[in-house]
Structure 1
Amino acid sequence: MTAGLDMTIGERIELLRRRRGLSRQTLASLVGYSSEWLRQVERKGRQVDRLSTLLRLAQVLHVKDVAAFMGVAVPQDRVEQLIQEGEPDIRAALLGQRTADVAGVAVPPGDLTRLCRDVNDAWTSWHHSAHRYSLVRARLPGLLARVYGCHAWHSARQALPLSAQVHRLTSAFLHSTGELPHALLAADRALAEARQAGEALLAAACLRGFGDVLLRLHSAGQARELCVAEADGLALDGEIAAEEVGAERTWLYLTAAEAAAFQQDHHEAERLMDMAEELAGGLRGSDIRTATPVTPVDVAAHRVRVEAVLGRTARALRLAEQVEEVDALHREGRVRFYLTLARAHLQARDQSGAVLALMQADRDCGEEMRCNVYARHLLRQAISQDSVTVRRDLHQLAESAGIV
Structure 2
Amino acid sequence: MPSDATPNPLDHPLDHPLVFGQRMQVLRTRRGMSRTVLAGLLDKSPSWVKQVENGALHTPGLPMILRIAEALRVRNLAELTGDQTMPIDLFVGPGHAKLPAVRAAIDAYPVADDREAPSAAHLSARLERAWSARHSARNHRDVIGGLLPNLIRDAQLAVRQADRAPERRAAQAVLSEVYSLSQFFIAYQPDSALLWRVAERGMVAAQESEDPHAIGMAAWLTAQAHRDSGPTHFDAADAVTLETLRYLKPLLPDASDDVRAIAGALQFEAGYTAARRGNTGTAWSYWDTASKVAKRLPADYYHPMTSFSRPIMGAHAVTVAVELHAGPESVRQAAKADAEAIPSRPRLARHRIEEARGYQLDGQPETALATLDKAYEAAPETIRYNGYARRIVLEETEAKSPERRCRAAALAVKIGVLAT
- What TM-score do you get using the length of structure 2 for normalisation? 0.69
Cα shift at 1:134: 0.8
Deviations 1:183-236 (A, max 9, x none): 222122112211210110121012111111111101222212321221232111
Cα shift at 1:291: 8.4
State which of 123, 142, 148 in structure 2 corresponds to 1:115: 123
Cα shift at 1:271: 1.3
Structure 1 residue 312 corresponds to structure 2 residue 334: no
State which of 188, 210, 222 in structure 1 corresponds to 2:236: 222
State which of 159, 164, 171 in structure 2 corresponds to 1:151: 159
State which of 93, 109, 114 in structure 2 corresponds to 1:97: 109
Q: Which is bigger in relative contact order (C-alpha 8 A, separation at least 6)?
A: 2
Secondary structure, counterpart of 1:177 in structure 2: coil
CA contact (8 A) 1:297 1:329 kept: no
State which of 202, 211, 227 in structure 2 corresponds to 1:190: 202
Cα shift at 1:110: 5.2
Residue 225 of structure 1 aligns with an amino acid whose one-letter code is A
State which of 217, 233, 251 in structure 2 corresponds to 1:237: 251
Residue 351 of structure 1 aligns with an amino acid whose one-letter code is P
Cα shift at 1:338: 0.5
Secondary structure, counterpart of 1:311 in structure 2: coil
CA distance in structure 1 between the partners assigned to 2:146 and 2:387 by the alignment: 19
Structure 1 residue 161 corresponds to structure 2 residue 161: no
Residue 368 of structure 1 aligns with an amino acid whose one-letter code is T
CA contact (8 A) 2:105 2:152 kept: yes
CA distance in structure 2 between the partners assigned to 1:287 and 1:371 by the alignment: 28
Residue 177 of structure 1 aligns with an amino acid whose one-letter code is Q
CA distance in structure 1 between the partners assigned to 2:110 and 2:186 by the alignment: 21
CA contact (8 A) 1:133 1:367 kept: yes
CA distance in structure 1 between the partners assigned to 2:146 and 2:208 by the alignment: 28
Q: Partner residue of 1:213? A: 225
CA contact (8 A) 2:315 2:339 kept: no
CA distance in structure 2 between the partners assigned to 1:374 and 1:142 by the alignment: 33
Length, aligned pairs only: 322
State which of 261, 273, 280 in structure 2 corresponds to 1:259: 273
Q: Partner residue of 2:414? A: 400
CA distance in structure 2 between the partners assigned to 1:144 and 1:267 by the alignment: 41
Structure 2: gaps (5+ residues): 6-29, 33-92
Identical positions, percent: 19
- What TM-score do you get using the length of structure 1 for normalisation? 0.71
State which of 288, 299, 307 in structure 1 corresponds to 2:313: 299
Q: Partner residue of 1:88? A: 100
Deviations 1:296-317 (A, max 9, x none): 3211210110111111111111
Which stretch has the larger CA shift, 393-402 or 246-255? 393-402
1:315-394 matches, within 5 Å, as 315-385=329-399, 387-394=401-408
Q: Partner residue of 1:131? A: 139
1:22-101 matches, within 5 Å, as 86=95, 87-100=99-112
State which of 275, 278, 283 in structure 1 corresponds to 2:292: 278
Cα shift at 1:139: 1.9
CA contact (8 A) 2:216 2:259 kept: no
Structure 1: gaps (5+ residues): 1-7, 10-30, 34-83
- Greater helix proportion: 1
Cα shift at 1:367: 2.9
Against the structure 1 CA distance between its residues 178 and 263, is the aligned structure 2 distance closer, same or farther, given a 3 Å change threshold? farther
CA distance in structure 2 between the partners assigned to 1:207 and 1:144 by the alignment: 19
CA contact (8 A) 1:369 1:400 kept: no
CA distance in structure 2 between the partners assigned to 1:345 and 1:293 by the alignment: 24
Residue 115 of structure 1 aligns with an amino acid whose one-letter code is L
Residue 407 of structure 2 aligns with an amino acid whose one-letter code is D
Which stretch has the larger CA shift, 380-389 or 189-198? 380-389
CA distance in structure 1 between the partners assigned to 2:400 and 2:130 by the alignment: 39
CA contact (8 A) 1:368 1:375 kept: no
